[in-house]
């Protein structure tokens, strides 16, 4: 039996970024815009196997005809999510309008399931009952929770995962950022280690952003949970190549996390796992004009380890603080602070020897203004501090100050102009090596790589979203960046263009092309570790892809994409090393990557969901006359996952990861060697199985408690990496997790 479906808020027009506030007057908040209006009843059956009350929030895309073209779960649990999304696809709306013209829109839609009385349920076989007035209530009269103004179409050539889906992915531990490795185009370095190649681009060329703020690294201690509480993350977008002009300064892929919009009603969640505990809470103030969010995670592995190995110290923690306040219905100021701290060390004679130590902090102060007619502007100032341990109590630091402005303006119903500019100052420092042999080339190399300096980059970007026809969208754009570092400077001009053409309503062709630039980068992203070698030029990549997307029956979808990337002047020490990375940090290489990506999926948040992603690729590097496969080139990479709601709030899932072997590294050990082979010996293939089992209980109207058991690499598979002949080159990583989660 349904009790109600409430249209929460509506609005959302064309691609955009600005967010208004719950209490903002709805249609009038964006002048001239009228949100979609539900036509008829929103009848949703209470699902079989369900128990208790449940709340599902959907993101529903309504096209210009009023038809629902997509319904994704933003929050909720099975089996209610599947039932709600399936039902929502049958809804009919009066389309949103701007100045009287129909436009596409995305709305957030809440469906409240209330468990029917048993007798009634049996009598009616759980036939739905509409809560009087609720579904057809005019949108503006519904209890407003959130206004979410965003694009009606996702960018071409982006893979998106939302939290509701990711938390069901075995081996991801509920972290949206960890789920990236399951997407096509992503090639892992080592199983369990969340650093990866993206279409042949090394980890150091993959940029991480959270709400548009650059993040130096994503995972605690390199392989642990992500440094941002999952409860903050609404979705994660992976741009494999040819990405929008607003992203730049990375020659590989872009991982962009978007935080959930501020919510004035009190909500919270917490988790306790074997190795850490986390919590997040948010509430409103000033009658909902303002919101405050506090979250974080703390690892107590140090205490556990002290019982097992007293000399080992392992500590990690992170925090997130967000405050926002609507000065007027069209003006909002926000501050978002977050950071993380990681420490792995060994204590000897009372002295802590740090083996791995990093920390970073960011504060982003934003001002958003809505000009009306979907024209928005965001100005922001970002401050940051990064620090990592180099060696022997030497730290590399980066003090960051930046400012940016982003503007979006629909010129007409079919043309939207977006643009922005920013400047970023990185003041790098390397603490003095008090106790180092001045002749040590290793110490000198560190000093050359990470000298004290100021890097400054200023750039601008713009693109135009052109709805050429109802079937064809083209987004041409470009960005220009001027980099300066240590007296050197370099100008980068990067044109981009992407297009999506709907051959039929269910079949689309997607193209993306772009030229991307990046200053020299380190092997993997670490706070404060940015090499100084701008004099040898920028890294460059020319990224191309062409693919087809198909909507399949039963809410399934599939895509197949061909890609080819060309790399120039890369600092890919990992991909070109012969086992002597110390010699390769500043070695420049050329390269290319080509392949095919296939993705077939049904949302894991459905009662039965899963996906298969497959990547066939070849990534080559060349240095001088040498041409050889990248050190982590893997011909075949397969990820397959399946999740099923067992009923009685039990849910089980499994995931298979398979990939063929990387080339066997042959370290030179300093020898002068002939050119490397183009077809080297390879390590054997690897597979692993991850499993996840969850039991949930309802608590009150919207509270949930869940016990989650999860194992990454339940098969205890060992992986062979690195050099042949080294005794310890089998690399087994098995991570078990048992935790309790709760939220309301």
Partner 1 sequence: MSLRSTFLALAWAVPAVLTGCLPNDTRPSPGKLLVTVSPDEALSSGMTTADGWQVSFERFLVSLGRVSVDGDGCLAYSDPDYSRVLDLRQPGPQKLSLVYAVGHCDFDMELSSPQPDNVLGPGTTEADRTFLRTPGDDAFTQASGISIHAEGTATRGAARTSFAWSFRHRIDYAGCSATVDGREVKGFDIASGESRTLDVLIRGAALFSTDRIDMDAETWFQPYADADALGDRNGVVALDELSRIDLAGAGADAGTDAAVSTSTRWATLEDFLYLGLFPLVPRFRGNGTCAMEVFPNDRVPR
Residues near partner 1 (CB under 8 A): 321, 323, 325, 327, 333, 335, 337, 339, 341, 343, 345, 348-349, 351-352, 354, 357-359, 361-365, 381, 383-385, 387, 389, 391-393, 395, 434-442, 445, 579-580, 583, 666-673, 723-727
**DSSP state at residue 63:** -
Quick count: other Cβ atoms within 10 Å of Cβ 200? 34
- 79 preceded by a cis bond (ω within 30 of 0): yes
Q: How far is the CB of 337 from partner 1 (least distance, A)?
A: 5
Choose between 277 and 352: whose C-beta lies nearer to partner 1. Answer: 352
Tokens representing 583 are: 């010699």
Which residue, 215 or 637, has its beta carbon nearer to partner 1? 215
Report the nearest approach of partner 1 to the CB of residue 427 (Å).
12
- Give the 3-state secondary structure of 601-636: EECCCCCEEEEEEEEEEEEEEEECCEEEECCCCCCE
> Nearer to partner 1 by C-beta: 108 or 394?
394
* Whether 638 contacts 659, CB under 8 Å: yes
Q: What is the DSSP string of 337-391?
A: EEEEEEEEEEEETTEEEEEEEEEEEEEEEEEEEEEETTEEEEEEEEEEEEEEEEE
**CB 675, min distance to partner 1, A:** 14
User: CB of 650: closest distance to partner 1 in angstroms?
Assistant: 42
Rounded to whole angstroms, the Cα distance separating 720 from 733 reads 11
Min separation Cβ 395 and partner 1, Å: 6
Q: How far is the CB of 682 from partner 1 (least distance, A)?
A: 16
CB nearer to partner 1: give 483 or 585: 585
| Nearest CA-CA partner of 486 in 460, 447, 525 | 447
Residue 207 is encoded by which pair of tokens? Answer: 């940029």
Please say whether the beta carbons of 96 and 8 come within 8 A: no
- Residue with smaller CB distance to partner 1, 389 or 655: 389
Q: Which is nearer to partner 1, 361 or 501 (CB)?
A: 361
Phi, psi dihedrals of residue 576, rounded to the nearest 5°: -110, -5
Smallest distance, Å, CB 22 to partner 1?
19
403-431 burial: b if 16+ Cβ within 10 Å, else e = ebebbbbbeeeeebbbbbbbebebebbbe
247-274 per-residue burial string, b: 16 or more CB within 10 A, e: under 16: bbbbbbbbbbbbbbbbbbeebbbbbebe
Least distance from partner 1 to the Cβ atom of residue 349, Å: 6
Nearer to partner 1, 274 or 726 (CB): 726
Dist CA 110 CA 496 (whole Å): 37
Query: Which residue's CB is nearer to partner 1, number 349 or number 554?
Result: 349
CA–CA dist 60, 630 (Å, integer): 42
Rounded Cα–Cα distance for residues 622 and 628 (Å) = 6
Name which of 290 and 494 has its Cβ closer to partner 1. 290
CB of 529 to partner 1, least distance (A): 14
Closest contact distance (angstroms) between CB of 95 and partner 1 is 38
Nearest CB to partner 1, comparing residues 277 and 436: 436
Kind of pairing between the strands at 207-210 and 254-259: parallel
């Amino acid at each position: 039996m349904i009790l109600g479906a409430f249209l929460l808020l509506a609005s959302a027009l064309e691609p955009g970024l600005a967010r208004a506030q719950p209490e903002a007057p709805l249609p009038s908040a964006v002048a001239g815009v009228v949100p979609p209006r539900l036509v008829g009843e929103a009848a949703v059956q209470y699902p079989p196997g369900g128990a208790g009350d449940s709340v599902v929030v959907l993101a529903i895309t309504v096209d210009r005809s009023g038809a629902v073209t997509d319904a994704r779960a933003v929050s909720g649990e099975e089996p209610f999510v599947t039932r709600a999304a399936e039902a929502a696809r049958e809804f009919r709306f009066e389309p949103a309008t701007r100045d009287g013209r129909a436009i596409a829109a995305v709305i957030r839609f809440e469906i409240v399931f209330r468990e029917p009385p048993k007798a009634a349920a049996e009598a009616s076989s759980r036939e739905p009952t509409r809560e009087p007035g609720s579904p057809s209530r005019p949108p503006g009269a519904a209890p407003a929770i959130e206004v979410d103004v965003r694009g009606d179409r996702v960018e071409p050539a982006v893979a998106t995962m939302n939290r509701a889906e990711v938390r069901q992915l075995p081996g991801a531990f509920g972290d949206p950022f960890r789920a990236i490795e399951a997407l096509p185009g992503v090639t892992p370095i080592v199983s369990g280690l969340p650093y990866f190649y993206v279409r042949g681009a090394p980890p150091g060329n993959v940029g991480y952003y959270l709400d548009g703020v650059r993040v130096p690294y994503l995972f605690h201690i390199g392989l642990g949970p992500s440094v941002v509480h999952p409860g903050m993350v609404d979705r994660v977008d992976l741009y494999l190549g040819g990405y929008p002009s607003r992203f730049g300064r990375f020659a590989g892929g872009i991982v962009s996390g978007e935080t959930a919009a501020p919510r004035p009603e009190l909500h919270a969640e917490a988790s306790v796992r074997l190795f850490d505990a986390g919590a997040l809470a948010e509430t409103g103030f000033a009658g909902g004009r303002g919101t405050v969010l506090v979250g974080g995670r703390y690892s107590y592995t140090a205490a556990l380890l002290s019982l097992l190995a007293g000399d080992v110290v392992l500590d990690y923690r992170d925090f997130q603080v967000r405050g926002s306040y609507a000065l007027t219905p069209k003006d909002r100021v926000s501050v978002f602070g977050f950071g993380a701290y990681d420490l792995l060390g060994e204590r000897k004679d009372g002295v802590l020897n740090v083996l791995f130590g990093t920390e970073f902090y960011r504060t982003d102060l934003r001002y958003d203004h809505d000009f009306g007619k979907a024209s928005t502007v965001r100005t922001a100032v970002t401050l940051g501090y990064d620090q990592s341990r180099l060696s022997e109590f030497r730290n590399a630091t980066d003090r960051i100050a930046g400012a940016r402005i982003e503007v979006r303006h629909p010129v007409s119903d079919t043309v939207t102009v977006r643009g922005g500019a920013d400047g970023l100052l990185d003041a790098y420092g390397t603490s003095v090596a008090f106790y180092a042999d001045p002749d040590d080339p290793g110490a000198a190399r560190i000093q050359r790589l990470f000298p004290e300096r100021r890097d400054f980059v200023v750039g601008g970007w713009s693109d135009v979203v052109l709805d050429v026809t109802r079937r064809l969208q083209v987004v041409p754009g470009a960005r220009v960046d001027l980099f300066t570092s240590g007296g050197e400077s370099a100008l980068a001009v990067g044109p981009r263009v992407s297009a999506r053409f709907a051959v039929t309503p269910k079949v689309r062709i997607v193209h993306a092309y772009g030229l991307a630039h990046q200053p020299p980068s380190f092997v993997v992203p670490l706070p404060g570790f940015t090499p100084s070698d701008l004099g040898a030029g920028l890294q460059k990549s020319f990224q191309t892809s062409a693919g087809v997307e198909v909507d399949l029956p039963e809410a399934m979808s599939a895509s197949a994409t061909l890609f080819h990337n060309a790399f120039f002047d890369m600092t890919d020490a990992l991909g070109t090393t012969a086992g002597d990375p110390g010699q390769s940090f500043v070695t420049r290489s050329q390269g290319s990557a080509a392949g095919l990506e296939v993705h077939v999926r049904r949302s894991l948040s459905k009662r039965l969901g899963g996906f298969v992603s497959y990547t066939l690729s070849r990534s080559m590097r060349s240095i001088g006359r040498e041409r050889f496969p990248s050190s982590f080139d893997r011909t075949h990479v397969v990820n397959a996952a399946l999740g099923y709601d067992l009923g009685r709030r039990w849910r089980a899932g499994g995931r298979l990861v398979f990939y063929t072997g990387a080339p066997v590294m042959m370290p030179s050990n300093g020898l002068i060697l002939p050119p490397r082979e183009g077809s080297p010996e390879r390590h054997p293939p690897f597979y692993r199985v991850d499993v996840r089992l969850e039991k949930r209980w309802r608590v009150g109207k919207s509270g949930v408690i869940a016990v989650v058991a999860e194992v990454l690499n339940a098969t205890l598979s060992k992986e062979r990496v690195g050099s042949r002949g080294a005794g310890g080159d089998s690399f087994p990583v098995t991570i078990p997790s048992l935790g309790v989660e709760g939220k309301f």
